[in-house]
Amino acid sequence: MVSEKINPAFVEPNGAPAQPELLVSAVLHLMSQYTASSQEASGCVKLASVIERHLKALADLPSLAPVLRATCLQLSEQWGTVVESSMPAPEKYNLFSRLVAGSRVC
């Protein structure tokens, strides 16, 4: 289950990421949780979104080695695709439905 609170060990008092190693540790843990939960159900969109954000944060760290930054950027884009494909499709209305909905007065 995904916790709403961020572990204070991952964040310094000013809210900045403490160490890249902690972010890597966190995202690896999240990815393993996503894998475990996807075996039970269809996976958790919220968890995939958190993984994407962690990877993006790592990719934005200038102190990280270039190859690791590039890998994190590529993976964040792939997780973004997972998140987008997991979102419910917007409801489509046919012409009749739009006309009926448009004629209603609220």
DSSP secondary structure string for all residues of 45-61: HHHHHHHHHHHHHHHT-
- Interval 20-44: pLDDT, tens: 888 888 888 888 887 766 655 556 8
In a domain, 93, yes or no: no
In a domain, 60, yes or no: yes
**Rounded mean pLDDT of 5-34?**
68
pLDDT for position 43 = 65
In a domain, 14, yes or no: no
**pTM of the shown model:** 0.61
- Interval 65-84: pLDDT, tens: 899 889 999 999 998 998 88
Q: How many other C-beta atoms are found inside a 10 Å radius of the C-beta of residue 50? A: 21
Provide the number of structural domains found in the chain.
Answer: 1
In a domain, 10, yes or no: no
Which range of residues forms the domain containing residue 34? Answer: 20-86
